[in-house]
Every structure is written in C-alpha cells, then in structure tokens.
Amino acid sequence: MTKTKHQQILNFIEDLDIGSKVSVRFIAKELDVSEGTAYRAIKEAENKGFVRSIPKVGTLRIEGVKEKQIEDLTLQEVAQIVEGLVICGENRLTECPNKFIIAAMELKDLARYLEEGALCIVGNRTDAQLLALKNNVPLLISGGPGPTEEVVALAKSLNSVIIISPYDTFVVTTMINRALFDRLIGKELLLIEDIMVKDAKVLEDSATIGDWYKLSQKTGHSRFPVIDNQHNLLGTVTAVDVAGEGVEVKITKVMNRNPLTVGRDDPVTHISRKMVWEGWEIAPVLENGKLIGIISLQDVLEAFQQIQKQPQFGETVDNLVLSGFGYVEESEYLTIRGEITQFMVNEFGSASCGVLVTLMNTAGYIALRKKYRLDAITENFSFYQFHPVPAGTVVSISARLLLVTKKNCNIEIEVFNDNGVLAKGMMTARMGDKR
C-alpha cells in the first residue's frame, strides 16, 4: 500500500539527523509537496516530539522522548527512605545499587553473594560488615547501633558508604520494597504501543471478498482492518462476516463498521479486560483516526501473562481486586463472579467498602461497554451494604442499565450470593466517546 504524502513527510523528518534544520520550503522542495502539506506535517512532528521550534534559530530535528526505563534508587534516596544517617562515603551517594543483599547467613555463604554494585543490609555483625566492605559493597546497618571504629576506618580508607537506620532489618527491607513498588507501577506500565503490530495487513475499501480470501491464504490470518486511501479506519472484517457471501461482493458491504479501537497509550491490562469481556479478537490501533497498527487478543493475553511473571512490573489495586473475578454468561443482566480474598478485607474480617465499590463500579462500566460500547466517567455512586461479606465468600455482582441518554446513564448494581442480596448501589455516570 502506498503511503500518503503526509506520512511520507513524517518518515522523512524522523530519518533526519539530530540537529538538522527543518523548514516548510525545505520539505516542500525535497519531497515535491505543497507548502501547506509540509506545514501540517511539521506541526504533527512537533506534537510527536520529533522537532522543536526555537526562537531566532528555527525548527530543529531533536531526539524524541526516550522509552520508559526503570530508574533505580540511589544510595541517597535509600538513606532518606529508611530515615538513615550517612556515616561516610557522601561522594558516592549518587550511585544506584543493582541488588540488595540481606546478611542473614554464615560468612562463608555470604561471600558468594557479595559483588560490586550491591548494597548489603546487615545488623550489628562486625564480621559481616568487614567482609562486605572488603568486597567493595556499601553497608546499610539496621537496628540503631553504629559500626565499630574498625569498620568506619576501613570504609573511609576504601571510600565506601555506610548508612545507619534506626529500624530493624525487616522494616528496612519492607520500606525499600514499598518505595521500589510505588516507583515501578509508574515506570513499567505496559502500553499498547509496546505490543502492537505496526505493519498490519489491511484491505482497502475497494477490495472484494475474493481479495479477503487471497490475503487470508497468503498471511494465515482471517481478521483484517479495512481502510480508505487516506489510511482512515472504516471497519474490520472477519471470517464470520464473509461466510456465505459471493467473492464479488464488496468488503464494505459485510464489514463491521463499529469495531473496538484503541490508542497507542492505552494500558494493556485495561484493554485485555475489554477484549475478553466484549469478545473482540482484534483491535485496530488509531492515532487521529488513522490506522497505525493492530493488536490481537492472543498478543494481549500473552503480554498480560508475561507481566504477571515479571517482578519489575507492579500491580495496581484495581488489578489485584479484579484478578479473581470472571464474566458469567448465563445470567439475565451482566454479571461477574469471584471470591472475596484476604487481601480485600478490613480490620473486622469482612470485605471493605472500597473493594465492593470498585467491583460494583467495574460491573456497571462493563455493562455499559458491552451493550452500547460507550466509555463513561462515574459522577456519583450511592452505596448501601445490608450484610458483611466475610473473606472466602463467593459473590456475584450484577449490573442493570436503568436509563441511558446521550449525556448520562443510571445503573443499578447488586452484590449477592446464595443467601440473598448483600449490597446495592446506584451509579450515575457521564457518557464518553464511543469506540
């Protein structure tokens, strides 16, 4: 498929060397396009971060936004987190430890784990402290008592770091783990752009079902986006859509004109639930209405499973709460069912109000998405709890759409089990975009 002039200009700008000057006349002359087309493309490149306009200098090609990276904690940040006192090695506090070692073992075993770049968390064990310093490993001494003069002298001679924390080893490691977890949730949120297929196979609006058969045999796939000559998405077509139709029938006659679409910045965890709950096998990825890629349910689920296996990917509270709930097919209204776990209870041993509201709000959102494929923002939620819900209880949450208008919707939500209704809620939401 030939690229549009707009896309050709964007690719040309992206391929320029960092620091190159970019101007409307330069682009128009190089690519033989109108100055208006060149101007629009340069503005979009500026929005994407490829170029920047600098007063009295002009528009320059710049290095785009870097990919998301995990930022390690520095020794200075570790000291602040554990409310520690730095004894020596202040000039090395900007270093980032690549691993944390807890010295809760015999010296002969500890020696195997000590390596340069690590941070050793140790109590008042002088022998372990000396061994760590001799291996050029900074110390985080827990429990309050300071190091001996021998340890301090060795650390100063080696220009190593010693941090003293008033907390015990368990509390210190918990505080560091919490800080890393909070940071990683923001740093390692897997987005659609990380897994999407950019060179998606597509059908143009002039194609016929015969063209679908040819492309399907060539690629081994059965689901394709349908686009116009401007790369705008018109719909999607699957094997179900073409079944029983003649090969001369236009694709636009049988395609689904209202497919699920996603953006490059949408989180994978959120989209995976949408695709599973609503039964979508593929989802085109759009930017300003134009197709830039495609994702499949298989790709999303594989990425989601990979996230759960990787310790550097944090889980949000919503994901943890919803992870044990599934969609119930046979119910009259949209229903999800799952077990109240120990993670969800309050100090009295029953499900907390926050957890129940999260589950009920999600059920209402899914009901609206499933029937009308509309996004919504919760404006008001009235919650009534009739009975406590102890840990281990399997509950069902049913959502019934009472009123849906162009701008608002009202949804009645029930939490129940075999013994009856446990809680009820009334959700009022403001309607968003249909996609």
Residues 87 and 153 in one domain: yes
Say yes or no to pLDDT of 57 above 90. no
Q: What's the pLDDT tens digit per position in 261-281?
A: 998 888 887 788 778 777 788
> Which CATH number is 256's domain given?
3.10.580.10
- pTM comes to 0.46
- Domain finish residue from 138, 169, 187: 187
Indicate the pLDDT class of residue 35, thresholds 50, 70 and 90.
confident
User: Is residue 98 one of the residues assigned to a domain?
Assistant: yes
* Mean pLDDT, residues 146-154 taken together: 91
Residues 331 and 355 in one domain: yes
Indicate the pLDDT class of residue 139, thresholds 50, 70 and 90.
very high
Determine the Cα–Cα distance for residues 73 and 173; give it in Å rounded to an integer.
Answer: 13
- Domain finish residue from 279, 304, 329: 304
% the chain with pLDDT above 90 = 35
User: Is residue 79 one of the residues assigned to a domain?
Assistant: yes
User: Is residue 310 one of the residues assigned to a domain?
Assistant: no
Q: Residue 336 region, left (φ>0) first, then alpha (ψ -120 to 50), else beta?
A: beta
Lowest mean pLDDT among 181-195, 206-220, 383-397, 416-430: 181-195
> Which CATH number is 406's domain given?
3.10.129.10
Lowest mean pLDDT among 27-41, 202-216, 308-322, 330-344: 308-322
Residues 82 and 40 in one domain: no
In this structure, which amino acid lies at residue 8?
Q
Indicate the pLDDT class of residue 188, thresholds 50, 70 and 90.
low
Q: What residues are paired with 85 via a beta bridge?
A: 164
pLDDT of residue 433: 58
Q: What's the domain count of the chain?
A: 4
Residues 321 and 427 in one domain: yes
Say yes or no to pLDDT of 320 above 70. yes
Exposure of 141 by Cβ count < 10 A (0-12 exposed, 13-18 middle, 19+ buried)?
buried
Say yes or no to pLDDT of 387 above 90. yes
Residues 175 and 235 in one domain: no
Say yes or no to pLDDT of 17 above 50. yes
Lowest mean pLDDT among 77-81, 295-299, 368-372, 381-385: 368-372
Residues 325 and 430 in one domain: yes
Indicate the pLDDT class of residue 67, thresholds 50, 70 and 90.
very low
Determine the Cα–Cα distance for residues 49 and 44; give it in Å rounded to an integer.
Answer: 9
Residues 335 and 376 in one domain: yes
User: Is residue 364 one of the residues assigned to a domain?
Assistant: yes
- Domain finish residue from 251, 281, 304: 304
Say yes or no to pLDDT of 183 above 70. no
By DSSP bridging, strand 99-102 and strand 118-122 are: parallel
User: Is residue 67 one of the residues assigned to a domain?
Assistant: no
Lowest mean pLDDT among 134-148, 328-342, 381-395: 328-342
User: Is residue 48 one of the residues assigned to a domain?
Assistant: yes
> Which CATH number is 52's domain given?
1.10.10.10
Residues 17 and 49 in one domain: yes
Q: What residues are paired with 398 via a beta bridge?
A: 335, 414
- Domain residue limits at 164: 75-187
Say yes or no to pLDDT of 2 above 70. no
Dihedral sign, Cα of residue 303, residue 305, residue 311, residue 317:
positive
Determine the Cα–Cα distance for residues 420 and 402; give it in Å rounded to an integer.
Answer: 21
Residues 133 and 168 in one domain: yes
Residues 221 and 286 in one domain: yes
How big is the chain, counted in residues?
435
- Tokens, residue 114: 């000590």
Say yes or no to pLDDT of 369 above 90. no
Secondary structure (3-state) at 2: coil
User: Is residue 69 one of the residues assigned to a domain?
Assistant: no
Secondary structure (3-state) at 147: coil
pLDDT of residue 401: 92
Determine the Cα–Cα distance for residues 74 and 423; give it in Å rounded to an integer.
Answer: 47
pLDDT of residue 1: 44
Indicate the pLDDT class of residue 318, thresholds 50, 70 and 90.
confident
> Which CATH number is 100's domain given?
3.40.1390.20
How big is the chain by its Cα radius of gyration, in Å?
A: 29
Say yes or no to pLDDT of 69 above 50. no
Is the distance from CB of 422 to CB of 416 less than 8 angstroms?
yes
Determine the Cα–Cα distance for residues 272 and 95; give it in Å rounded to an integer.
Answer: 38
Indicate the pLDDT class of residue 156, thresholds 50, 70 and 90.
very high
- Output 395 or 48, whichever has higher pLDDT: 395
Q: What's the pLDDT tens digit per position in 331-345?
A: 778 899 999 988 888
Residues 236 and 336 in one domain: no
Residues 248 and 203 in one domain: yes
Average pLDDT, rounded, for the chain: 85
User: Is residue 269 one of the residues assigned to a domain?
Assistant: yes
Indicate the pLDDT class of residue 305, thresholds 50, 70 and 90.
low
* Mean pLDDT, residues 38-58 taken together: 81
